Amino acid sequence: MIPLDYFVVLGAVLFCIGIFGVLTRRNVIGVLISIELILNAANINLVAFNRYLGTPDGLGQIFAIFVIAIAAIASVVGLVLIIAIYRNGKSVFLDHFNLMKW
Amino acid sequence: MVKIAHLIPLFPFLAFVVNILFGRRLKGASAWVSVLASGVSLALSVVVYQGLLAGQGPYDLGKWLTINGLPIHFGVSVDSLSVMMLLVVTIVGTLIQIYSIGYMHGDPRYSRYFAYISFFMASMLGLVLADNFLMVYIFWEGVGLCSYLLIAFWFERPAAAKAGMKAFITTRIGDTGFLLGIFLLFIATKTIYFSDLSHIVPMVGSEWMLTAAALLIFCGAVGKSAQFPLHVWLPDAMEGPTAVSALIHAATMVAAGVYLVARTYSLFVLNSFCLETVAVIGGISALMAASIATVNNDIKRVLAYSTISQLGLMMLGLGVGGYSAGTFHLMTHAFFKALLFLCAGSVIHAVHTQDIQKMGGLLSKMKVTGTAFIIGTLALAGVPPFAGFWSKDEILLAAFQSGHPFLFGVAVLTSFLTAFYMSRLIFLVLFGKPRSSLHAHESPKTMTIPLMVLSFFAVFVGLLGSPLTHHAFQNFIFFGAPSVEEGQASGAMMMFSTVLSLSGIGLAYVVYIVGNKILPVNIRARFAPFDQLLLNKYHFDEIYDAVFVRPCLKLCDLFSQFDRIVVDGMVNGTARVVQWFSAVLRPLQTGLVQHYLLIQFLGVIVLILTVMGKLCFRF
């Protein structure tokens, strides 16, 4: 059996890549993809710990499915927002949108 | 007995509400609302008068509020003095409102005018019926407000707006004294009811308080009745519509001061010093105003000074102990002075000028107005058997019997001057030849009918207090205070005052009709400095301007500077400090989502490290 550490490290690496992407990507679609990475890092941890701890009714796995479903919805909303932003500002680059400034 | 006296002020008040709310829609009908309301009040007053004769007295409408354990009631005072005032106010008020229909015809604020007049009627009637100082003060301010609103009724004219303010501020000075007097009286006697005044017993060592209270209350009367030294507002008040001058500034409101003194007479009788103050102030006002009236050329201002003078005479009458003389003159004066003002209004309506030097020979063109004017003049001059004769005679007699030769002399001289300046007025206005091209015409019926009715009163109302009716008025109004002796008009005094009036009229005839144009000019040139003094009204306006108004404005200026520099500076300074700090912190807000996210992320890391650090240190 593959040790738990592998999964945890994989999750941590994915999470860090995701955070890095969210913070540095100019393209809004890139940010959205990075958010998916963060969510999937969490999913890996859920599934791995479920298996490792042997929770009898597969609670972690069910939880992961929920996360995937909600992540799909979140991406839909996100994409809609991106389209709206694009129509408004003719750009999908985040640094073009600083309307929240004083 | 039906208790209806409290309904009397209610009807004009309802008329006020209707006119102020629906005046624009009512248009011309608004006048009739007011006239009808005051007609109802008049009818009710007559009923109350009959009730009084049948033995009805003051009554109580219930508790209003409690101050310091002292319950204050809505009391309605029904006695001879208040009923006399009720009748005078409602009769004169109704007639003047009818007159106003014609006089104010076509004014853009027609219904507003009648709303104010109705409010005035309500306040004045409330003032008359109030049985305690607190309610009197409320209505006192009500009439003051109406006076202000109506003087400044044509506020498009700067002079009218200024006159309104002058009247308001000047009377306010007196009112402040009045209010302090009420407080002091309450401290000294624990009562604010007029009915308690006749049997108050001053606590030992607090007699001075009552004296001071009486003098302070008199301050209010001085302001309202335009007595020296607060008389300056009344001549300027003539900027208002003439009907208003007749109602408020001749017949009723200015008489409120005299009424107040009469109402609180018991307080003044306690100390002879108070009575003497009243008499002396009245005497000064009477003589001063009468002398100014002899040279003034504005038809309304002559009458205004005459009003000051006659009110002074009433005060003098009250001050020398002639309670019934003063109140009797108050009543007769209300009728003939209202008549004179309405005549003046009719003349102004016809010739569109107030300068008597431009008038002349109007009698042939305005027969009704002219005749009424002559009747009013004879009544004011004190020619028997007109109204003014009987009441003025009473005052002269009271002054004579009081043993103050100086005050008697003042009263005599004032009576003489009154006859002189009133005759001068009608000689210049009604007789002789027109001194400028005037297209005079008689006024409409709504204006002449009130003149006729008032003329009737001006002729006959004096008989109520004459020996012919056995002094019916004096017996009706009798004030049973100690140390006040009611005089019986003696034959000699009547002869004397008749001669006095006739000589005044005669002198005016010689100067202004026989002497025509040359004699007045010569006399004036002869006494040039005195003439100038009179023309400048003894320089009261200039002195007040220099002593009170301008320093006050300077002080206001100083305060406004303080406000602008210190107060505004503090507020603006606070704002500027905040602005400065925000300028430093503002760049943090970049508006870029990723910056916020980064900070959030760093925050989470710090949180995690903190929690982990704590866990590490525990183990």
Contact flag B591-A24 (C-beta cutoff 8 Å): no
What does chain B come to in residues?
A: 619
User: Which residues are paired to A93 by β-bridges?
Assistant: A27
Q: Are B550 and B463 in contact (CB under 8 A)?
A: no
Residue A57 covered by a domain:
yes
B482: pLDDT strictly greater than 50: no
User: Which residues are paired to A26 by β-bridges?
Assistant: none
Rounded to an integer, what distance in angstroms lies between the CA atom of residue A48 and that of residue A6? 10
- Is B598 in the A-facing interface, judged by CB distances under 8 Å? yes
- Which among B590, B591, B601 has CB closest to A19? B601
Greatest CA separation for chain B: 128
Query: In B, which residues are within 8 Å of A95 by CB distance?
Result: 592, 594
Q: How many domains does chain A contain in total? A: 1
- Which among B591, B597, B601 has CB closest to A101? B591
Question: Nearest CA to B266 among B479, B20, B521?
Answer: B479
Q: What is the mean pLDDT of residues A25-33?
A: 90
Q: What is the mean pLDDT of residues A55-73?
A: 89
Which residue has 């943090």 as its token pair? B588
Residue A56 covered by a domain:
yes
Residue A99 covered by a domain:
no
Q: Of the ranges A16-20, B176-180, B463-467, B508-512, which one carries the lowest mean pLDDT score?
A: B463-467
CA angle B155, B37, B107 (to 5 degrees): 30
Q: What is the mean pLDDT of residues B337-350?
A: 89
CATH at A80: 1.10.287.3510
Reported pTM: 0.78
Give, for B74, the enclosing helix (H) or strand (E): strand B70-76
Q: Give the model's pLDDT for residue A44.
A: 93
Percent of chain B with pLDDT over 70: 95
- Is B600 in the A-facing interface, judged by CB distances under 8 Å? no
Q: What is the mean pLDDT of residues B275-301?
A: 90
Q: Is B62 left (phi over 0), alpha (psi -120 to 50) or beta?
A: left
Rounded to an integer, what distance in angstroms lies between the CA atom of residue B297 and that of residue B428? 10
- Is B591 in the A-facing interface, judged by CB distances under 8 Å? yes
| CA B298 to chain CA centroid, nearest Å | 20
B203: pLDDT strictly greater than 80: no
| Mutate which: A95, A96, A97, A99, vs B, most B CBs within 10 A | A95
Which residue has 């309610």 as its token pair? B135
Phi, psi of B66 (to 5 degrees): -120, 125
Rounded to an integer, what distance in angstroms lies between the CA atom of residue B154 and that of residue B286? 30
Q: B470 pLDDT band (50/70/90 cuts)?
A: low
Q: Give the model's pLDDT for residue B487.
A: 46
Please provide the average confidence, as pLDDT, over all residues in chain A.
Answer: 89
pLDDT tens, B427-442? 888 887 777 777 778 8
Contact flag B589-A101 (C-beta cutoff 8 Å): yes
Highest mean pLDDT among A64-68, B246-250, B510-514: A64-68
DSSP string, B300-332: HHHHHHHHHHHHHHHHHHHHTT-HHHHHHHHHH
Please provide the average confidence, as pLDDT, over all residues in chain B.
Answer: 86
Minimal Cα–Cα distance from A11 to chain B, Å?
17
Question: Nearest CA to B281 among B327, B249, B315?
Answer: B315
Rounded to an integer, what distance in angstroms lies between the CA atom of residue B410 and that of residue B405? 9
Residue A102 covered by a domain:
no
- List helix spans (H) across B54-157: 80-103, 110-129, 133-151
Q: Give the model's pLDDT for residue B490.
A: 67
B484: pLDDT strictly greater than 50: no
Residue with the bigger pLDDT between B322 and B421: it is B421
Q: What is the mean pLDDT of residues B326-349?
A: 90
Residue A100 covered by a domain:
no
Phi, psi of B132 (to 5 degrees): -140, 165
Percent of chain B with pLDDT over 90: 32
Q: What is the mean pLDDT of residues B301-322?
A: 90
- Which among B586, B594, B598 has CB closest to A102? B586
B483: pLDDT strictly greater than 50: no
- Tokens coding B262: 């009469």
Give, for B61, the enclosing helix (H) or strand (E): strand B59-67
The parent domain of residue A88 ranges over: 4-94
Q: B79 pLDDT band (50/70/90 cuts)?
A: confident
Q: Which of residues 55-74 of A touch B (CB under 8 A)?
A: none
Residue B573: Cβ within 10 Å count: 10
Query: In B, which residues are within 8 Å of A31 by CB distance?
Result: 594
- Tokens coding B27: 């248009």
Q: Give the model's pLDDT for residue B201.
A: 64
Handedness of CA B329, B335, B340, B341 (dihedral sign): positive
- Tokens coding B227: 């007595």
Rounded to an integer, what distance in angstroms lies between the CA atom of residue B115 and that of residue B586? 59
Residue A45 covered by a domain:
yes
Kindly tell me the burial class for residue A72, based on how many C-beta atoms sit within 10 Å of its own C-beta (0-12, 13-18, 19 or more): exposed
Residue A41 covered by a domain:
yes
Q: Which residues contact B115 (CB under 8 A, 6 or more apart)?
A: B15, B16, B19, B20, B23, B30, B34
B558: pLDDT strictly greater than 90: yes
Q: Give the model's pLDDT for residue B54.
A: 83
Q: B418 pLDDT band (50/70/90 cuts)?
A: very high
Q: Give the model's pLDDT for residue B77.
A: 87
Minimal Cα–Cα distance from A24 to chain B, Å?
7
Minimal Cα–Cα distance from A57 to chain B, Å?
31
A99: pLDDT strictly greater than 80: no
Q: Are B356 and B301 in contact (CB under 8 A)?
A: no
Q: Give the model's pLDDT for residue B285.
A: 92
Minimal Cα–Cα distance from B596 to chain A, Å?
9
Residue A101 covered by a domain:
no
B563: pLDDT strictly greater than 90: yes
- Is A88 in the B-facing interface, judged by CB distances under 8 Å? no
Q: Which residues contact B315 (CB under 8 A, 6 or more apart)?
A: B221, B225, B227, B257, B258, B261, B278, B279, B281, B282, B285, B286, B326
Give, for B410, the enclosing helix (H) or strand (E): helix B405-430
B147: pLDDT strictly greater than 70: yes
Which residue has 């049997």 as its token pair? B199
User: Which three-class secondary structure state does DSSP give residue B526?
Assistant: helix
Q: Give the model's pLDDT for residue A102.
A: 62
User: Which three-class secondary structure state does DSSP give residue B63?
Assistant: strand
Query: In A, which residues are within 8 Å of B592 by CB distance?
Result: 94-95, 97-98
Q: Are B265 and B301 in contact (CB under 8 A)?
A: no
Q: Give the model's pLDDT for residue B80.
A: 85
Residue with the bigger pLDDT between B185 and A10: it is A10
| Gyration radius from chain B CA atoms | 31
Q: Give the model's pLDDT for residue B193.
A: 84
B446: pLDDT strictly greater than 70: yes
